[in-house]
Amino acid sequence: MNMREKKKLVMVGNGMAGVRTIEHVLKLAPDTYEITIFGAEPYPNYNRIMLSSVLAGGADMQEIVINDWDWYTENYIHLHTGDAVTVIDTTNRYVMSESGVRAPYDALILATGSNPFMLPLPGANKEGVIGFRDINDCNLMMEASKKYSKAAVIGGGLLGLEAARGLLHLGMDVSVIHINSYLMERQLDEPAAKLLQKELEAQGMKFLMQKQTSGIVGGRRAEGLQFADGTELSADLIVMAVGIKPNIELAKSSGIEVGRGIIVNDYLETSIPEIYAVGECAEHRGIAYGLVAPLYEQGNVLAKRLAGLDAPGYEGSVTSTKLKVSGVDVFSAGYFNESPQTRSLRIQDDIEGTYKKIVLQDDRLVGAVLFGDTSDGAELFSKIKSGESVAGKEKELLLGYPTGQPAGGNSQSARLEAMANDEIICGCNGVTKGTIVDAVRNGCSSVGEIKSCTKASGSCGGCKPLVAGLLELYGDGPSVEPVKEGICGCTTLSRDEIVESIRTMGLKSVKEVIHVLDWNQPEGCSKCRPSLNYYLGMIWPTEYRDEKESRFANERYHANIQKDGTFSVVPRIYGGVTSPADLKRIAEVAEKYEVPMVKFTGGQRIDLLGVKKDDLPKVWEELDMPSGHAYGKTLRTVKTCVGSTFCRFGTQDSISMGIRLEKAFERLNTPGKVKLAVSGCPRNCAEATIKDLGVVAIDGGWEIYVGGNGGVKVRAADLLCTVKSEDEVMEWTAAYLQYYREQASWNERTAQWLERIGLDTIKAALSDAEERQALAERIKETLSHTTDPWKEIIENKELRKNFESLQGVQV
């Protein structure tokens, strides 16, 4: 690849609209540009629409990533994360970042997105007052929920309700403050909004309607809200979700014409040649769009412009909103509030909890609102955009099937067939019907394959029935299995099918599995490669050589990447018990490498935060301590209380039991991270009953609890058994962990696994002494072939030499 001949394309912003533009450029003009992207956040491109799912515990960061780190590497994109651009020199054509990176450009895309609008209230700068716009905001809310109990969300729009639902899930008492008389007035009419409010109140949400906030009270931290009517509301956390404003400061300071957003023409060109703007930061014909579909339409037009294609410009978008608000489906499009020039039809079913309204003007459909059942949304939106006459078809549109025809039959197929090819099916990713149909006709034969090829249904999943319907309609008919999905979009095979194939066919490498089992992506992806690496190691513990390139970078570097690009290093401290010599060694390393923060963790260990990547090998070498595996899917910690060694309530020696467990099972690879704890008496100071496996001392023995979780989805552990001796604790623990290793799906925590298969299944599997001992022997055999992997990098010159070449950092 000859970089010298390529033009330099620089993009400021690493969000959904900008990266979608780059995807199209790579397809339309793959050899035209050398691409550099700057992102202010320390993450790859992720789906901001799914932040509410992260907050509510339905997804983690890895699941909402659209383009992982490997994608940038594979497409030769120079990516700078956590490094905002501060200067654009429009004369000499280069940008400069906060860290001093200078990048010249031939073409520059501004995709700076938007910022949350923070009300200029007295006290708005207090601690505990935040917006809801990015992953960092989610993290702040999750941390606050651990310390505080009452939350107030200002704003009853979509963003505010999603934030409130997430906080409710985190166990907080949540009140939503809204200045209007009903919720989501931009997307819903009053009857639909009242139905939504009723549903959310049933979930535990509280509402203060027609309330204007006048100030935030408290000391250093917010303690509550004051309202214009003189009333107050106490709150420990205040989330402002009252809207967004385009991020135009960089453009404005660079002399680029701005209004509400960065002003662009129909080809997304700004007032300065070779500088473009796309997404929420752009203002086109006086409008700055905030929905994903228009932003993707802009990206398509801009990509064609950059590729030198002669194509129509962007003429603006007719928008619709189809979304799931806190578990309830809603849809709106066009002008859904009545006026003297319009007439409307509506139908409401209080038993089914559905509502539908259509608005007509001059025999044309101009707006619609759906609540509870949004299956007709695409067809209605198509009619609104086309502007065709619907005279005589009004009731058909309202009821969803031809007048006089009973409900039933394959009405969805008829609707899908009649739908225009440019109709958006997947609103999260801006995928049209035509794109999905093309994918089906080009060989995609499952929803999973369509998701892999087009990204349709790859986010919230709400469009999956429509994708499946299109597959059945335009595929091979009923013989197609439209909903069969594999562990990722690369395959339709399930976890059990893959594991069985590895065993019966004797497959011994990730590449061999991908080739023999006919993956549709020849190199796999960031989801399946780590899982295959785990399954192979679990099945062939003595023969399989762990593939470092198939692990996430946190596991490869033996450190957690932080938001500023530095790393967190956690050495192993068995059972939370250390020595003066180890403490001195840690302190000396922290001083020598100028570690910004040394922190005690919740797992009774010491965390060195802010270590530079270049220093990682030397830090580990000079610590000369085993890795604490604070980053991988393995045994993390064994938390202990002081037990009978010092405590007057202790009935057993919990410290020695905990250290014995940790030394026995450290370095054990598991499907998900595993945390253990040992409490010396039923007072349970080590919190053993919310761990993956917890041991609690009782008079004359020990209780073993399993399947606990203390994270976002708190789950109390179940009692597995009661035993008398430490040796029995070790045997049952070994058997349980090995059974989990052999039966669970990769990335499935013990709590999820136990709920899926049931405690009785686990008890039955472990109750037989011979089978229990066999499981314990298998885990012992696996552990006999493990060494501290960080020492491999220190001692193996070739590995250490290649340390810096490890690519594809996965957060």
Dmax (CA) for the chain in angstroms is 87
CA–CA dist 236, 178 (Å, integer):
18
Instruction: Please state which of the four CATH numbers 3.40.50.620, 3.30.413.10, 3.20.20.140, 3.40.190.10 is assigned to the domain occupying 632-787.
Output: 3.30.413.10
Q: How confident is the model at residue 564 (pLDDT cuts 50, 70, 90)?
A: low
Question: Which residue type, as a one-letter code, is found at position 705?
Answer: Y
CB 596 within 8 A of CB 568: no
Work out the average pLDDT over 400-422. Answer: 60
Q: Would you state the pLDDT for residue 499? A: 93
Q: Return mean pLDDT, the chain.
A: 87
Please give the helix or strand (H or E) that residue 599 lies within, else none. strand 597-600
444 known member of a binding site: no
Q: Would you state the pLDDT for residue 162? A: 85
Residue 89, strand partner residues: 94
Residue 154, strand partner residues: 177, 240
Q: Do domains 3-114+246-306 and 551-627 have the same CATH topology?
A: no
Residues 6+ apart with CB under 8 A from 775: 734, 735, 738, 739, 742, 766
The answer to whether the Cα torsion of 753, 756, 757, 759 is positive or negative is: positive
Distance of CA 151 to the CA centre of its chain: 23
Which of 228, 235, 272, 221 lies closest to 251 in space, CA to CA? 272
CATH of domain 3-114+246-306: 3.50.50.60
Residues listed for the chain: 811
Q: What are phi and psi of 330, to 5 degrees?
A: -135, 155
Q: Would you state the pLDDT for residue 404? A: 39
CB 652 within 8 A of CB 697: yes
Report CA-CA distances (Å) from 217 to 151, 225, 267, 489, 800: 14, 6, 48, 50, 54
Residue 798 has pLDDT above 70, yes or no: no
What architecture is the 551-627 domain classified under in CATH? Alpha-Beta Complex (3.90)
Q: Would you state the pLDDT for residue 319? A: 72
Residues 441-478: pLDDT tens digits? 888 888 877 887 887 876 656 677 788 888 888 887 54
CB 704 within 8 A of CB 729: yes
Residue 406 has pLDDT above 60, yes or no: no
CA–CA dist 801, 794 (Å, integer):
10
CA–CA dist 610, 607 (Å, integer):
10
CB 714 within 8 A of CB 744: no
pTM: 0.61
Which of 99, 97, 86, 106 lies closest to 34 in space, CA to CA? 106
Residue 712 has pLDDT above 70, yes or no: no
∠ Cα 619 625 626 (to 5°): 110
Residues 479-527: pLDDT tens digits? 444 445 678 778 888 889 999 999 988 999 998 999 888 887 777 877 7
Work out the average pLDDT over 603-629. Answer: 87
Q: What are phi and psi of 676, to 5 degrees?
A: -120, 165
CB 607 within 8 A of CB 568: yes
Q: Would you state the pLDDT for residue 805? A: 44
490 known member of a binding site: no
Q: Would you state the pLDDT for residue 141? A: 92
Instruction: Please return the burial class of 206, using the count of CB atoms within 10 Å of its CB with bins 0-12, 13-18 and 19+.
Output: middle
Q: Which two tokens stand for residue 43?
A: 């993450």
Strand order in the sheet with 567-569: 560-561, 567-569, 606-611, 597-600
Q: Which fold has domain 129-242?
A: FAD/NAD(P)-binding domain (3.50.50)
Query: Helix, strand or coil for residue 645?
Result: helix
460 known member of a binding site: no
Residue 809 has pLDDT above 60, yes or no: no
Residues 157-176: pLDDT tens digits? 988 998 998 898 888 999 99
Q: Would you state the pLDDT for residue 64? A: 82
Q: Helix 411-418 and helix 377-386: axis angle, to 10°?
A: 30
Please give the helix or strand (H or E) that residue 365 lies within, else none. strand 364-371
Work out the average pLDDT over 672-691. Answer: 93
Q: Which two tokens stand for residue 225?
A: 């809200």
Locate the domains of the chain by residue range. Answer: 3-114+246-306, 129-242, 495-550, 551-627, 632-787
Residues 36-78: pLDDT tens digits? 999 999 989 988 877 877 776 656 667 788 888 889 998 999 9
Q: Would you state the pLDDT for residue 408? A: 42
Instruction: Please return the burial class of 312, using the count of CB atoms within 10 Å of its CB with bins 0-12, 13-18 and 19+.
Output: exposed
CA–CA dist 470, 714 (Å, integer):
39
CA–CA dist 419, 674 (Å, integer):
49
Q: How confident is the model at residue 751 (pLDDT cuts 50, 70, 90)?
A: very high
